[in-house]
Chain A
Amino acid sequence: MEKKLMSEKESLAIISQMITNAKNNVQENAGSYTLVWGYATIITSILIYLGWIYIGAQWIMYGWGIIPIIGTIGTLILNKREKKKLVKTFLDSVINYIWIVFGVLGGMVSITAFIYNIPVLFFISQLMSAGIVLTGFVSKFKPYVYCGTIGVLLSFLCLYFRGAESVLIFAGIFFVTMIIPGHIANRVSNNLLKGKNIVESKL
């Protein structure tokens, strides 16, 4: 940009252009965090289900601890990659805060389940699906809103089924709530970036 005297219309054009540029900031693999936690939950649920069926011991339930371990390791790996990100939007912060609140709540409910007999799979699937719906609303990404809402409704099945099958239902809810929209988010963001790069290379 050269140093020159601007007219008021040029000033407005610059303001408008820069605000548009900032809005068009698309993150690569936008659904990665959702996929990490979704797959961590599904893999753990399948292991718990198999343990429940073939071993049947109470200690199998401590296996739920695998979810935060895989999830945290995955998140740390993604955070390390994200350091290459050149910009942080207000939306990034809002989504971070949503998941800090829902993550802490989920952790507290899980710990409570070891002390009191509560339908923990119902509460966790409700909380996480609600988190996805909120993420969808603030980011204006409809697949999160729709899949999260379906997850909220499906979570009531965890109140009806209380045996080993409830663990498979729980895994199914996470597949609908996190895996499907997570892959859609990755595909959409990568296609947008691809399109943006083609346009930029033509300019």
Chain B
Amino acid sequence: MFKELNPLLHSELRLAIISLLISLEEADFIYIKQQTGATAGNLSIQIEKLRTAGYIDVIKSFKGKMPCTTCKITAQGITAFEDYVEAIKSYINK
């Protein structure tokens, strides 16, 4: 029986964001934008969706006079990612 894929993670950009954050302690918005190749607007929307779901923490601060957005995966986000990978495995091994 196939496991249901988490619809929140089964999106190209959101999955890319979570996959990136799972390997890092924290990452700046600019870094995520560079790595995913997404537009700032789209990235902001997807980050907000992940934050609302409790999968990532978003810390807004200043580096000197420049505003800075840092993202960090939460324990809930790690569990969701692991469940998603398990679900994907069940499809691959069919």
Contacts and interface: CB of A to CB of B under 8 A. Distances in A.
- B15, B34, B42 interface centre (most CB from chain A within 10 Å): B15
Interface in A121-137: none
Interface stretch (A80-88, A101-109, A173-181): A80-88
Interface in A90-110: 90, 92-93
B35 A21 contact: yes
Interface string B80-94: 000011001001100
Interface in B49-94: 63-64, 84-85, 88, 91-92
Nearest to A24: B35
Contact of B91 (A8, A25, A88, A92): A8
B30 A86 contact: yes
Contacts of A89: 23-25
Nearest to A92: B25
Majority DSSP secondary structure for residues of A touching B: helix
Contact of A18 (B19, B26, B85): B19
B88 A19 contact: no
A152 to B, nearest CB: 30
Nearest to B25: A88
Interface residues of B, number: 30
Interface string A1-24: 111101011111011011101110
Given A8-B88, A12-B92, A83-B64, A1 B26 contact: no
A1 B20 contact: no
Given A4-B12, A6-B10, A87-B27, A15 B35 contact: no
A17 B31 CA distance: 15
Nearest to A19: B23
11 contacts: A1-B13, A1-B42, A6-B11, A6-B15, A9-B92, A11-B10, A18-B16, A86-B31, A87-B24, A89-B23, A93-B25
Given A1-B38, A10-B12, 8 more contacts: A3-B11, A3-B13, A17-B16, A22-B24, A83-B63, A88-B24, A90-B25, A92-B25
